Every structure is written in C-alpha cells, then in structure tokens.
C-alpha cells in the first residue's frame, strides 16, 4: 500500500496537487470563487516547474471548456476547473464536450447560482448540467476530492467511456477548509493514471484527417445521443473498476455509493457532498440512543447508482433524500432520481431541500429530519413572501 505523510490541505489545494501529480498537458481555466484557489495553487506549481502544463488563461468559462475540447481532441491530456456561474456559462459547451466524447477532467467547487448572486455552496450548478452526459462525482471532504481527482483521468479516458469527468466538492466547506490529506507519491499517481490515451484520429494527426463535430439531422442525432448514454452506462463499471484499483493502492474506497451504518437501519438518509459527514455524526449519536438509522452517501451522481440504491434501500421503512438544490414547481433533482430508482419498493420516501446559498445544516436540524419533525425546506426563515 502506497502512502505518503499527511499534509494539511484545503480541498482546493488537494485537487491542485492531484492535478500537478497527474501532469495534464493543457489546462485552460478562468477564475471564479470558490474555484480560484485550485487554479492559483496549480499555477504556482507550474511556475515552480513542478508540473509541465500549458495553462491557457482564457477570457471566460465558455472558452475554458471550448479550449479544453480542442486540446483533448487534439491529443493532449486536459483538465479545467470551475464553479457556479462559470459552469452555467459553459453549460452549452459541457453538453458538446460529452457529445464529442472529449475525455477531460474538471474540478468543480459547487456554489449557488444567481440570483441573487451568492458565492457559497449549494449544488444548483451541478444540477444545471445534470443531463449533459458527463460523469459527476461528489466528494465528502478534501481527501475524497484528492482521491477522486486522481481516479478521474482513468475513468474519462477509458475507451468505452471517453467522456468529461467532473470532480465536485462543496464550495468553501471543502474548497477552503484545511484538513489532513494523505497524498500519493508522484510516481504512484503517474503509474496509476498511465499515459494519455489519445482519441481516435486526433486533430493534430494530419496524416489521418477526421471530421469531429459534424451536423446530424433526425436520421442520426438520436443514435449519437444513445451512444453517449451507453458510454455513461459503461462508466458505471469503469468507476467500480478504477475504485477497486485505487483501493488496492491506497486502502481507501471511493465507490459510487458509501453505506454508513445501514445494518438494521429502518430510516436512511441519502445525501451528496460534505453534508454526508455531518449526517454520519448524527447517525452515530442516534444509534447510540438505540435508533435504527443510517446514511447512504452518493459519490457517483452521474452515472446514477440506481441498482445499488434498490439493493441497499428497497427494504427500508423510510428513505429521506436531502437535496442541496431545488427544482421550483417540481421534484428536487436527487429526490427525483432516488424516487425513480426505488419506484415500487415498500419504503416511504420523503425529501427535504436544505442549505441553499451556503446556509449551514446543523446536527440539530438533521435530528429533526430523521424524526420527521422538519419542514420540507430545512433552515429557511418564515413563510415565502410575495413582493
């Protein structure tokens, strides 16, 4: 098992160091809070010669993803990073990156979407591109952000996947909070990710010209989209395979889902991101009091681990989904996915929306959620007012 002494790093620094160890060829990027520490840290590592990467300081996130597609299809290992409005601005191109099967990685510091403008965490930005066809992995803490970032190129570049992989961490809560992080040795990361697997007929191979990004009408568009869906299905198995390899190397498991004290649990919370850590504390406390509660943390939001949810949750009494994003007028995104995965099972389903715009979710509120004493929107003051 490969280990290096722990370092005190923020989540942002941790993924920047992971990027440095991966040594991507090209990193086009644009600053945005709370992603900025990632690119700042990475830029200084490049400036000190720690990484040999072409950083392209583009003029917008739209161009960051566009340049990333160009670089990846040209034959270079490529990464970028963003947050919130930046992800919203590049959303158009995120869809196209997936459609063009550009195998790149992107670190995301999740942050609320405007308006009103806000810089703190929720998952609205990731949910905006939920249907784009990219892989989205959510970290609970800085260690997972590092681990998932090291795993990401292997998943993105697997020939049956060949898709963008997003490594999401909660803005500020993870990006800016320092924690002890176990990093691998540089050589181990290099050996783990391997050489970049160049796409078929890369753009710079002028001897073998290919047309990338053609015009597809009703006679072919649907087939393109289904092929992309099949790649995301394949990613399900590749995530599992890469997680196994990573666990062999580090002893740390980063599977699509993490079960926490599910044995004998009647009431189970489902959550993404850093909130899972707080829920674990509350589960421990309630378990100590004899209450049969547990947590199912979802790391792989896309592809969504529907079969695992059925296997792990179908027989529970109650499943409670915590969404850090809303879908006004409809079902919140995580709740909708969980409900679809568990359709026809005996469990009662309940959903709560919490933490929009960086509002904290305290253990007391999580206790109330477990005890069905919480409102649908947890932590919001008063009744909605009509202006």
Partner 1 sequence: MSRLKTLVEHRNGVDPLRGGHALCQGCGIPMVVRVVLGTITRPTVVVNATGCLEVATTRFPTTAWNVPWVHVAFENAAAVASGIEAAQRALARRESLPSAGDVAIVVFAGDGGTYDIGMQALSGALERGHRFLFVCYDNEAYMNTGVQRSGATPFGAGTTTSPVGLESFGKSQRRKDMTAIAVAHHVPYVAQAASTYWHDLSQKVERAARVDGAAFLNVLTDCPLGWGHEPRLAPHVIGAAVETRFWPLYEVVDGRYRLTYEPPKPLPVERWLEGQQRFAHLLRPENAELVELIQETVDRDWAELGSLCRVGDEKGVLS
Is the CB of 226 or the CB of 376 nearer to partner 1?
A: 226
Task: Select from 8, 44, 52, 194 the one that contacts partner 1 (CB under 8 A).
Answer: 52
Instruction: Identify residues 88-107 at the interface with partner 1 (CB under 8 A).
Output: 92-93, 96, 100
Dihedral pair phi/psi, residue 109, rounded to 5°: -100, 100
Asked if residue 41 binds partner 1 (CB under 8 A), the reply is no
Is the CB of 214 or the CB of 290 nearer to partner 1?
A: 214
Q: How far is the CB of 49 from partner 1 (least distance, A)?
A: 13
Task: Select from 9, 19, 56, 88 the one that contacts partner 1 (CB under 8 A).
Answer: 56
Is the CB of 60 or the CB of 348 nearer to partner 1?
A: 60
| Residue closest to 133 by CA, chosen among 161, 171, 168 | 161
Q: d(Cα 64, Cα 61) in Å, to the nearest integer?
A: 5
Instruction: Identify residues 170-229 at the interface with partner 1 (CB under 8 A).
Output: 198, 201-217, 220, 224
Q: How far is the CB of 199 from partner 1 (least distance, A)?
A: 11
Dihedral pair phi/psi, residue 245, rounded to 5°: -60, -40
Q: d(Cα 249, Cα 144) in Å, to the nearest integer?
A: 15
Q: Is the dihedral of CA 224, 301, 23, 52 positive or negative?
A: positive
| Residue closest to 198 by CA, chosen among 216, 210, 213 | 210
Instruction: Identify residues 61-80 at the interface with partner 1 (CB under 8 A).
Output: 62-64, 66-76, 78
The count of other CB atoms within 10 Å of the CB of residue 62 is 18
Dihedral pair phi/psi, residue 119, rounded to 5°: -110, 0
Instruction: Identify residues 324-363 at the interface with partner 1 (CB under 8 A).
Output: none
The count of other CB atoms within 10 Å of the CB of residue 9 is 22
In the block, tokens 């990731």 appear at 126
Is the CB of 16 or the CB of 71 nearer to partner 1?
A: 71
Q: How far is the CB of 65 from partner 1 (least distance, A)?
A: 8
What is the DSSP code (8-state) at residue 198? P
Task: Select from 3, 6, 60, 114 the one that contacts partner 1 (CB under 8 A).
Answer: 60
Residues that bind partner 1 (CB under 8 A): 25-26, 28, 52-54, 56-60, 62-64, 66-76, 78, 92-93, 96, 100, 198, 201-217, 220, 224
């Amino acid at each position: 098992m490969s280990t290096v002494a722990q370092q005190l790093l923020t989540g942002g620094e941790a993924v920047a160091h992971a990027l440095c160890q991966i040594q991507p060829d090209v990193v086009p990027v644009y600053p945005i809070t709370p992603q900025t520490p990632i690119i700042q840290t990475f830029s200084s590592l490049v400036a000190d010669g720690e990484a040999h990467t072409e950083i392209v300081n583009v003029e917008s996130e739209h161009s960051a993803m566009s340049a990333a597609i160009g670089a990846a299809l040209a034959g270079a290992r490529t990464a970028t990073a963003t947050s919130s409005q930046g992800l919203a601005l590049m959303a158009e191109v995120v869809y196209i990156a997936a459609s063009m099967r550009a195998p790149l990685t992107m670190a995301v510091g999740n942050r609320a979407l405007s308006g009103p403008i806000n810089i703190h965490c929720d998952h609205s930005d990731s949910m905006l591109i939920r249907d784009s066809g990219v892989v989205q992995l959510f970290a609970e803490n800085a260690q997972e952000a590092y681990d998932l970032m090291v795993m990401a190129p292997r998943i993105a570049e697997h020939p049956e996947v060949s898709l963008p992989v997003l490594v999401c961490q909660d803005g500020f809560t993870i990006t800016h909070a320092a924690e002890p992080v176990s990093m691998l040795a540089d050589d181990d990361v290099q050996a783990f990710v391997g050489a970049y697997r160049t796409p078929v007929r890369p753009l710079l191979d002028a001897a073998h010209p290919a047309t990338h990004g053609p015009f597809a009408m009703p006679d072919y568009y649907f087939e393109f989209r289904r092929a992309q869906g099949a790649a995301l299905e394949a990613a399900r198995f590749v995530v599992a395979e890469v997680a196994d390899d990573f666990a062999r190397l580090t002893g740390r498991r980063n599977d699509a889902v993490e079960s926490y004290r599910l044995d004998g649990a009647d009431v189970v919370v489902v959550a993404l991101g850093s909130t899972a850590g707080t829920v674990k504390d509350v589960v421990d406390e309630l378990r100590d009091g004899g209450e049969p509660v547990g947590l199912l943390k979802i790391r792989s939001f896309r592809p969504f681990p529907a079969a695992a949810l059925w296997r792990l949750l179908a027989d529970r009494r109650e499943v409670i989904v915590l969404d850090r994003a809303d879908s006004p007028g409809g079902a919140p995104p995580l709740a909708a996915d969980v409900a679809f995965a568990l359709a026809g099972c005996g469990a009662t389903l309940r959903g709560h929306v919490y933490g929009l715009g960086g509002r904290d979710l305290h253990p007391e509120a999580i206790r109330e959620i477990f005890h069905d004493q919480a409102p649908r929107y947890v932590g919001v003051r008063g009744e909605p007012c009509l202006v």
